[in-house]
Structures are given as structure tokens and as C-alpha cells.
A = this chain, B = another copy of it.
Amino acid sequence: MVKGKTFIIAGPSGVGKGTIIKKLFESRENLYFSVSATTRAPRPGEMDGVDYHFLSRERFLDWIDRNAFLEHAEFVGNLYGTPKKYVDEAMESGKDVILDIEVQGAEQVHRQRPDVVRIFIAPPSWEELERRLVGRGTEDPEKVRERLARSREDILLARYYDYLVINNDLDQAVEEIQAIITAEHCRARERYDSVTRRL
């Protein structure tokens, strides 16, 4: 069995990562979506291990001490992180892992695991990104401006990613990510040993 690989899908807020990932899972098998751990309380209907791995603050801090996260951060008093355990188990079982994380988190993961494949999702234009952020209707203009400013910083890091996918056409974006996953499994440096072993 071929071991799975980990793919980071990062990009600015409002770029449409969620929709892309949903469609990717509908159109491809053998993927594992990494579920984050958090110290925040479950909301009604949220299930442990599905929406989040809900941990006490004490346990979360213990996991940090044991270096059990690929990345972690604090937002408005709650801790969030990507546990290594489930990612590694999925890869061992032959599944490709999809990490839906923020650009800052992606940097942390890459420092620990330089072999993860990093895909940056870019908006077709700033106007479109602004339109999408405003279109959510859940945030005031000041928040939207803040998020856009942050997005401009995020996108400067796209240069250092492995791949850059533009979310102009949803189907094309998903097709490109599919191609990236397939192509990364054809990398000679990884396949060489298994091929020559059989020869």
C-alpha cells in the first residue's frame, strides 16, 4: 500500500476554501479531512471528533508540551490546533490528508514537516474577495477592511508555496487540486525505491 501525503490548503479569509474542499471530497476518494482540536466549548449540535476534538485547556497544554500538534494558536481566549496523531494514522492507512488552515498555521506545519505539499488558494481579484467578504453579511465594514488588509499580507507568502490555485472557476480549481494530488504521488524521489525493488 502506498502511504498517503499531507496537503495544506491555505488562503485568505473569504477566498472559498470551504467550498473547494467540500467539492474535492465529493469528487475524490481516499482523502482524510484533518479535524482540529480546541478548548472552546461545543456549540449545540457539534460532535466531538467530527466538528472538533474538544479538549480541556489542561489537556491541550499537555499536548503542546508533548509536541503533539502540527500547529496551534489562540483566538479570543480559545486554543485551536492540528493534532499529529490523526494525520499520521490517516497517512499510514494510505489516505491523503487535507489540512484546511490559516496561512500562519501553514507556516508552523511546514517548519515541522517540510515534506507537506502547500497549496495556496488566491482570489481572482481583490474586488471579488471584498465582494465575498461583504456578501457574507455577517461582518461590519471595519472588520471587512481588517480582513482585506490581513489578506494582502497573507498573499505575499503565496510565493513560497508549492502551488497556487486561483478560485475563479470552482470546477477548474478543484480539478487543479486533484491533479496536484495525483502528480505529487508520481514524484520520482518517492516512487523510485518501490519501483527498483520490483525490478
A interface with B by C-beta (< 8 Å):
119-120, 122-126, 152, 155, 158-166, 175-176, 178-180, 182-184, 186-189, 191-192, 195-196, 198-199
- B120 lies within 8 A of A188 (CB): yes
Contact B199 A155 (CB under 8 A): yes
Q: Are A192 and B158 in contact (CB under 8 A)?
A: yes
Interchain CA distance A187-B124 in the complex, whole Å: 16
Which chain B residues border A163 with CB–CB below 8 Å?
Answer: 183, 186-188
Copies per complex of this chain? 2
* Closest B residue by C-beta to A172: B182
A152 to B195, CA, bound (A): 12
Q: Are A122 and B159 in contact (CB under 8 A)?
A: no
Chain B residues near A176: list those with CB within 8 A: 182-183, 186
Beta-carbon contact of B159 and A192 below 8 Å: yes
Residue in A125, A160, A191 with the greatest tally of chain B CB atoms within 10 Å:
A191
Closest B residue, CB atoms, query A160: B188
Residues of B within 8 A of A162 (CB): 187-188
Q: Which residues of B contact A155 (CB under 8 A)?
A: 195-196, 199
Cα A45 to Cα B153 in complex, Å, equals 61
In the complex, chain B residues whose CB is within 8 Å of the CB of A192: 158-159, 164
Residues of B within 8 A of A179 (CB): 178-180, 182-183, 186
Q: Are B175 and A182 in contact (CB under 8 A)?
A: yes
Residues of chain B lying within 8 A (CB to CB) of residue A175: 182
13 chain-A/chain-B pairs, Cβ below 8 angstroms: A123-B199, A158-B192, A159-B188, A159-B189, A159-B192, A161-B188, A163-B186, A163-B187, A164-B186, A176-B182, A179-B180, A179-B183, A183-B184
Give Cα A196–Cα B164 distance, bound, in whole angstroms: 11
How far is the CB of A96 from the nearest CB of chain B, in Å?
Answer: 13
User: Most chain-B CB neighbours within 10 Å: which of A124, A152, A155, A199?
Assistant: A199
